[in-house]
Amino acid sequence: MVGSAIVRKLHTEGYTNIITRTSSELDLRNQAAVVDFFAQERPEYVFLAAAKVGGIWANNVYRADFLYDNLMIESNIIHSAYQTEVKKLLFLGSSCIYPKMAPQPLKEEYLLSGFLEETNEPYAIAKITGIKLCEAYRTQYGCNFISAMPTNLYGPNDNYDLQGSHVLPALIRKFHEAKINDQPSVEVWGTGSPRREFLHADDLANACFYLMEHYNDALFVNIGTGEDVTIREVAELIKETVGFTGELRWNTEKPDGTPRKLMDVSRLHAMGWKHTTELKDGLERTYQDFLANEVLYIE
């Protein structure tokens, strides 16, 4: 989702010499393969969007995979970028890096100020390591490696697997299938009370391009909308968008996760960047994309 959005943005800006690889073409966990890739292609600028990602269930069940895979991906790429003298690298982390009970909204300086959310601790630790790798290579070797922390994302090419996806794509698929199967209700995990912020992938790509052009400092930057909604509110909005007329059933035996994760985006706003896609419009566009590519997304 993120990589394809960045490629779309680069094409829009007139760039044509864009180097990409799918996970089937290049295993980024394989150090030798990554070293060979960088030695052969010699990229000048790197957007590090690759990661193993998932929702609460996947993060909690595949804890070793989320830690190992993400550590290997970022370590291999960042080190190879240093070795081949990449001009600039942008590492993308996640809002889950912040402590579970950190003050809201989440400011960049809150990193490592408290305990992490238990269910996604391994993923968060991996992403924190990526930030620190960029800082360390900058300090020791003078590399222009920067980091950005996006909030919860959605948009074209999202993961709609019901076990491994994030809350928004999972709900889109649940409501869609309930609608076409004429089901009376849809189950949603938790109480519906946690608050979440959602950013369209195209807005993230715009922000990444902006930072690659204008930002060169060591401190990572939050990317988000600065606005959040409850899970109950977003479920009702998706229900309306999809056109499902049944009931919502809240399974309170399932975890809620962090009570709130609202990003403080004042630093990014002060630089001159702000999102343009509001949640209602973004969901409508995303659902239309899901309908157009349903066979690919749920096969």
Which positions make up the binding site for NADP(+)?
92-95, 127, 150-153, 166
Rounded to 10°, the helix 279-292/231-242 angle is 50
The CA distance from 141 to 133, in Å, is 11
Of 82, 123, 154, 210, which is the active-site residue? Answer: 123
Task: Give the pair of three-digit tokens for residue 295.
Answer: 């066979």
Q: Tell me which residue of 168, 157, 152, 182 sits closest to 244, measured CA to CA.
A: 182
Q: Binding-site residues for substrate, please? A: 174, 189, 196, 256
Check: CB of residue 153 under 8 Å from CB of residue 160. no
Total Cβ atoms within 10 A of residue 190: 18
The CA distance from 41 to 222, in Å, is 30
Instruction: Please say if 141 is a catalytic residue.
Output: no
Cα separations in angstroms, 158 against 1, 11, 82, 139, 255 = 5, 20, 30, 35, 22
CA dihedral (164, 5, 232, 299) positive or negative:
negative
Q: Binding-site residues, please? A: 92-95, 127, 150-153, 166, 174, 189, 196, 256
- Strand segments (E) across the chain: 45-48, 88-92, 145-150, 152-154, 185-189, 195-196, 198-200, 221-223, 229-230, 247-251, 260-261
Residues annotated catalytic, as ranges: 123
